[in-house]
């Protein structure tokens, strides 16, 4: 599969998982040009300054992924995506069945891309049993990817472990964004069970990776981001 024409630096999405927008702005200032793409999610939404932060990042020529995992009746999800579509965000996530994804895709406009969540990287086989899913993780990821494609979504969120089979199934028809990236120092990630390294994620066919704590909690977050950007650039230069 030929890699999509995505600028190398944009392939790293930093997960801005902090509790307030002041801390988020401070991190963005520290990163400077080392990070060009930011994910802002529910924790920052609850801070009360979500859209101010979104606008602040856009004013600095950053790309923004609104990781809100919309999950409600289709009409509500469709209306929510329609409200977001002109705010300048690049991606938004939807977590639901086919009719929910269809409603999101029908209201996304020309620039906002809708990503369907397949299976959260915090879940494993035992968790799926608890939720009542009588199939393995890989089968569920492929089923949800198929529904995302049929619904008109632009891409999916998928662990790097399932990306090879997903690519066999959808080829390059969907963007694949991969969270659950294992830190370079291999420290355990308590709330991430299905993880891969940076190199494995891209070798398996991911278009973007989402990384939070391995960069944020490093002694120098900027240096950690720059090191990861270097790994990504070398990977694609070698292709």
Measured in degrees and rounded to the nearest 5, phi and psi for residue 209 equal: -120, 150
Q: Which of 69, 85, 113, 193 is catalytic?
A: 69
DSSP strands (E only) in the chain = 12-15, 37-41, 63-70, 91-94, 113-117, 155-157, 175-178, 208-211
Whole-angstrom distance, CA of residue 20 vs CA of residue 157: 25
Packing angle of the helix pair 137-151, 98-106 (nearest 10 deg): 40
Would the CA dihedral through 101, 55, 230, 183 be positive or negative?
A: negative
Q: Which two tokens stand for residue 24?
A: 């988020």
> Annotated catalytic, 69?
yes
> Is 156 within 8 Å of 177 (Cβ atoms)?
yes
Nearest Cα neighbor of 125 from 117, 116, 134 is 134
> Is 185 within 8 Å of 179 (Cβ atoms)?
no
Nearest Cα neighbor of 141 from 130, 126, 154, 128 is 128
Note every long-range contact of 124-127, with CB atoms under 8 Å and residues 24 or more positions apart, other chains counting.
124/193, 124/194, 127/193
Positions annotated as catalytic residues are: 69
């Amino acid at each position: 599969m030929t890699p999509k024409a995505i600028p190398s630096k944009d392939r790293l999405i930093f997960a801005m998982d902090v509790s307030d927008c002041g801390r988020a702005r401070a991190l963005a200032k520290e990163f400077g040009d080392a990070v060009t793409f930011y994910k802002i999610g529910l924790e920052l939404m609850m801070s009360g300054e979500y859209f101010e932060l979104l606008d602040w990042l856009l004013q600095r020529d950053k790309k923004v992924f609104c990781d809100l995992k919309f999950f409600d009746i289709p009409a509500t999800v469709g209306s929510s995506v329609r409200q977001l579509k002109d705010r300048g965000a690049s991606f938004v996530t939807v977590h639901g069945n086919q009719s929910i994804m269809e409603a999101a895709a029908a209201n996304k406009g020309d620039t906002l891309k809708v990503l369907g969540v397949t299976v959260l990287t915090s879940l494993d086989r035992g968790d799926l049993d608890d939720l009542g899913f009588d199939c393995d993780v890989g089968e569920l990821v492929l089923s949800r990817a198929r529904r995302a494609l049929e619904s008109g979504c632009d891409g999916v969120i998928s662990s790097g472990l399932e990306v090879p089979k997903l690519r066999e199934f959808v080829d390059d028809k969907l963007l694949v964004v991969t969270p659950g990236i294992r830190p370079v120092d291999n420290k355990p990630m308590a709330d991430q069970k299905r993880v891969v390294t940076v190199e494995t994620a891209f070798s398996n066919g991911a278009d973007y990776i989402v990384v939070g704590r391995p960069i944020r909690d490093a002694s120098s977050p900027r240096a950690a981001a720059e090191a990861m950007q270097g790994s990504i650039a070398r990977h694609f230069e070698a292709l």
